[in-house]
Amino acid sequence: MGTFLAISCVVSVAYGLWFCHRPVTAWRSVVKTVPVAVLAVWAALAGGPVWLVAALGLSAVGDFALSREGERAFLAGLCAFALAHVSYIGLLFGLVDGMPPVVPLMALLALAGSTELWLAPHTGEMRWPVRGYVALITVMAGCALALPGALWLAALGAGAFVLSDTVLAVQMFRRDVAARVDRVLSVALWALYFGAQVMMAVALAG
């Protein structure tokens, strides 16, 4: 099982260093899809919950879709990740331990609400799908904030997921901001995203 985790991490590093900022190609799509797909296999072999395996598998589908060009590919990726977050919510909700801490919860809600100012006006026909996605990841992260202390790594992973999606939103819809630092954003996005998946998988697979 450790071999699968190692393969996932090695391919992820290769993608982050050499592929994430390059133009769309079939090979780039394969390299982007492999890390989380292999992570899903690792979670399944480790006896992880079905919700976790489903979340990772759907995320891998989303990775492939978002590696392609066009609005249809983006919408497919958005739907795949939305379903992945539904799976994470299904898993995390059963593990929550009371109410989430007030300050982190208020910060999360403030970030979600702020998207109506800096994101929604720039999303065009994708406005409502993006709003729905923001709502789902906010619920997922809110559940993670309410996890018991022993699952702190999963909560940290959920936070990294929120940050990665924030970077992705800037890249996709705020080109006026992203164009100047696109390569840096691409590397940061992948590091946050893959780190989030690894942290959540390791914390929740047992």
Q: How confident is the model at residue 113 (pLDDT cuts 50, 70, 90)?
A: very high
What is the average pLDDT across 98-126? 95
Structural contact between residues 179 and 133, judged by C-beta atoms closer than 8 angstroms: no
Over residues 170-181, mean pLDDT: 86
More confident residue, 182 or 42: 42
pLDDT of residue 111: 97
**pLDDT range class, residue 151, cuts 50, 70, 90:** very high
Q: With pLDDT > 90 as the criterion, what percentage of the chain qualifies?
A: 86
| Average pLDDT over every residue of 115-121 | 97
Average pLDDT in the chain: 94
Token pair listed for 163: 């940050």
State the pTM of this model.
0.94
Question: Residue 83 has which token pair?
Answer: 């379903």
Residue 20 has pLDDT above 90, yes or no: no
- Does residue 150 surpass a pLDDT of 80? yes
* Residue 93 contacts residue 136 (beta carbons within 8 Å): no
Nearest Cα neighbor of 53 from 98, 114, 4 is 4
Residue 56 CB: number of other CB atoms within 10 A?
Answer: 28
Distance of CA 101 to the CA centre of its chain: 22
Does residue 206 register a pLDDT over 90?
no
Amino acid at 184: V
Instruction: Dump pLDDT digits (tens) for 43-73.
Output: 999 999 999 999 999 999 999 999 999 889 9
* Percent composition of the chain: helix, strand, coil (DSSP 3-state, to 5): 85, 0, 15
- Of the pLDDT bands very low, low, confident and very high (cuts 50, 70, 90), residue 1 is low
Please report which helix (H) or strand (E) contains residue 151, including its range.
Answer: none
State pLDDT tens for residues 72-104. 999 999 999 999 999 999 999 999 988 999 999
